[in-house]
Amino acid sequence: MGLKQMWAEARYRKLVDDWIAAIEAATAQAHHAQAAAEGGFTSDRVRIEPGERLCGQFNASLSETRRVRVTNWGSASHQTSGGDRVRAGQARSTSHDELQIIDSGNVVITDRRVQFLGSKHNRELRWRTLADNPEVGSGAATFRSTGRQKPLVITFHPSGTTKVAFEIDLALALFDGADDAKLAQLRNQVNELVSHPPEAPAGTVVDERVPRLASAPTTQSAGVSTPNDDGHTSTAPQQSTIPNLPRGCFIDTPPEQVAAAAAALGFTTRWMIWPGSSAMLESAGPTIIPVPALEGVLDLGVELAVLSGDEEQILAMLEASVPRYSVVVGPDAPDGIPVLDRPRIPDVVRHASPTDADLIASERRQAGAMVHRLDCNDITTTSLLQAFNCKAQLLRPMTRSPQILILGGPVELLPELAELSGFDEIIVLSEPQQQDSAESDEADLPPEAANATEHPVTVAGEVISDPAGRIRRYLLEHARTVRRYDMTAAPRVIEWA
């Protein structure tokens, strides 16, 4: 096989992966809209009014415009012949409006309103008072009301922009009474995607997932209400419109750690485990253990199932109704499921200065990679690093992006870095070596300074035995601060003891 053919096959596989991801996302939106239209969502954050339907909720911050004053000070100084210093200057002030975060909390979106619930402030906007269409951008949404002078501005993590925009659009459609039209639109999106798979290039075998998805039932038979001939609606049994595609298998990582890492990333995680091999337990199916959401972690609005058991039990769970994202934990990976915690090539670790590491991180981000930063210290244990590694192992197949780790601090306290299979590249920050020997330091000093190290100095009642060394260390550690001070001010008198 030539290089050109290999490149064509790799590109075709990437197109199929993107096509499947688009189908999964559209299917999830259709199911979410159907559940919201039927009033299937509840919330423990706000009291839902009778007949009100919940469309979404997420963590966000409240922002409002504040008046900010900026003062610029300019001065000049002059030293007289007598040694006195004279300063003169002026200050100029300007003010402007600036959008500032004033509180953090939760946002609840229903078919009647959008409400922010924070620790210090609560805001609510009814859709009937909405003056214009909401403006949803990267990580921010703005709502303008006819009865309020200031708009309601909420900010959130940019990764949740698509989810927030969909929930707002769904809420407005339900408020307008366009339930059937919105559901039909979402169903058509799924069917349109399924009917247009990527074309395999000449000489390339068609991906086995394409015919399986193309022959799968449409959303009209996947628990979505469809009109009958008499005009009434009927609901087919709830089932997935496409096969639940596992993203990989963990062989050496405990399922508890996988579930904890998924919750730390913001997934709504369920651990599905087959507790035994008895006939009664097998007929009852797996036990579902919900993993609690972590406080302060942004809810991605994506469900993930951690499937644990032997190969036959895992395949049985994959055929059942599980979230569209799932990972497998078991002693052996089923056929066609890649192993996520397999050791990678040993040359993934490289050393770089902080400046070079910032340049490398910028280049990797522009190329589509995800860059993580971890500063090591005395409490950085092996378990913490393994949990960080497990997050990267989950993120790589989910986002289809390379994972880059930048490590700082005493890295020598950590285990072998090449064993971290979740990262495609590990950059270790290395500081430039400094000469610490007394002989090399004194060689760079004038003779009087070198001799001064032999005499103690009394400063503010404190006896300093090595004044030159103390000053030298201060200047090295606080070079930036020293440069900012006016070193031409009147000198302090230091009396030698």
Alpha-carbon distances, residue 359 vs 107, 221, 354, 372, 396 (angstroms): 37, 51, 9, 14, 22
Nearest to 302 by CA among 20, 21, 111: 21
Nearest to 219 by CA among 242, 187, 243: 187
171-204 b/e (C-beta count within 10 Å ≥ 16 → b): bbbbbeeebeebbbebbebbbebbeebbebeeee
Cβ–Cβ contacts within 10 Å for residue 102, how many?
13
Nearest to 53 by CA among 64, 65, 43, 68: 43
Strand pairing class (370-375; 403-408): parallel
Task: Write down the pLDDT at residue 481.
Answer: 60
Question: Which domains can be identified in the chain, with CATH numbers?
Answer: 1-58+105-225 (no CATH), 246-329 (no CATH), 346-429 (3.40.50.300), 446-484 (no CATH)
Q: Which residues contact 223 (CB under 8 A, 6 or more apart)?
A: 31, 34, 235, 236, 237, 238, 239
Structural tokens at position 152: 């309601």
Eight-class DSSP state of 24 = H
255-267 b/e (C-beta count within 10 Å ≥ 16 → b): bebbbbbbbbbbb
Query: pLDDT by residue for the chain (497 residues), tens digit each?
Result: 567 777 888 888 888 888 888 888 898 899 899 889 988 888 877 788 888 999 999 889 999 877 777 777 777 777 777 777 777 677 777 777 777 888 989 999 999 999 999 888 899 999 988 888 899 998 899 999 887 778 999 999 888 899 999 999 999 999 988 888 899 899 888 888 888 888 888 888 888 788 877 665 544 433 333 333 333 333 333 333 334 556 788 888 888 888 888 888 888 888 888 765 444 444 556 788 888 888 777 777 778 888 887 777 777 777 665 666 788 888 877 777 788 887 765 567 788 888 888 888 888 887 778 888 887 765 656 667 777 788 888 887 777 778 888 887 766 655 566 567 778 888 888 764 444 444 444 444 455 444 444 567 777 667 777 777 777 767 666 655 655 554 434 444 434 33
Residues found in the chain:
497
Q: Which residues contact 470 (CB under 8 A, 6 or more apart)?
A: 464
Q: What is the separation of C-alpha 34 from the centre of its chain, rounded to a whole number of angstroms?
A: 28
SS3 content of the chain, % helix, strand, coil (to 5): 35, 25, 35
Run of H or E residues at 58: strand 54-79
Nearest to 409 by CA among 375, 447, 385: 375
Long-range contacts of 227-232 (CB under 8 A, 24+ apart): 227/180
Distance from C-alpha of 420 to C-alpha of 120, rounded to nearest angstrom:
42
Distance from C-alpha of 184 to C-alpha of 163, rounded to nearest angstrom:
19
Task: Write down the pLDDT at residue 141.
Answer: 94
Cβ–Cβ contacts within 10 Å for residue 54, how many?
21
Cβ–Cβ contacts within 10 Å for residue 405, how many?
24
Run of H or E residues at 65: strand 54-79
464-474 b/e (C-beta count within 10 Å ≥ 16 → b): bebbbbeebee
Bridge partners, residue 253, by sequence: none
Q: Is 315:337 a contact under the CB 8 Å cutoff?
A: no
Nearest to 373 by CA among 382, 361, 365, 381: 361
Q: Is 199:78 a contact under the CB 8 Å cutoff?
A: no
Q: Which residues contact 288 (CB under 8 A, 6 or more apart)?
A: 270, 271, 272
CA dihedral (326, 20, 248, 160) positive or negative: negative
Distance linking the first and last C-alpha atoms of the chain? 84
Q: Is 327:304 a contact under the CB 8 Å cutoff?
A: yes
Task: Write down the pLDDT at residue 168.
Answer: 95
